[in-house]
Structure 1
Amino acid sequence: MAKLKITLVRSTSKLKKPQLATLEALGLKKKIGSSVEQNDNPQIRGMIKKVEHVIAVEEI
C-alpha cells in the first residue's frame, strides 16, 4: 500500500474547530514543519481535502 507524507506548512491559528480536529486526526501537531506518514486510502484523502490549504502532501 502506498504511503503519504503529510507536512503542516501554514499556521493553524485561524482555523475552525472542525479543521483543527481533522489535523489532529491526521496526527499533526500545531507546529509548522511537523510531518506524519499515513497510508493512502479514501478516508485519509478526504481529510487531506478538508485542510489542503495548510498542508503539503508527498507520495512515498
Structure 2
Amino acid sequence: MADKKIRVTLVKSIIGTKESHRATVRGLGLRRMNHTVELADTPEVRGMINKIAYLLKWSV
C-alpha cells in the first residue's frame, strides 16, 4: 500500500479554520489554494486527509 500515491489538492481556504486543521494542511505539504501534492498512501496520511476532508480534493 505504501508504494501507491495519493494526489491531494487544497480547494478551500484555511482562513477561519481550527489551528490544528491548519497544522494538518501544512503537515501534508499544502501551501496555498489549488496547490497539489503527491503523498504516499499510508494510514497516517489517510487519517490526516480524513481530518480535513472538507478542505480537500483527492484521488488515488
Q: Name the TM tier (shorter chain).
A: over 0.9
Q: 1:24 aligns with which of 12, 23, 26?
A: 26
The ranges of structure 1 where at least 4 consecutive aligned residues each deviate by more than 2 angstroms after the TM superposition are none
Structure 2: 5+ residue stretches without partners: none
The SS at the match of 1:13 is coil
Q: Distance in 2 between matches of 1:21 and 1:12?
A: 10
Over the aligned positions, Cα root-mean-square deviation in angstroms equals 0.6
Q: State how far apart, in whole Å, the 1-side matches of 2:16 and 2:56 are.
A: 14
Shift of 1:48: 0.3
Structure 1 unaligned spans of 5+: none
Tell me by how many angstroms 1:18 deviates.
0.3
Q: Does 1:43 align with 2:50?
A: no
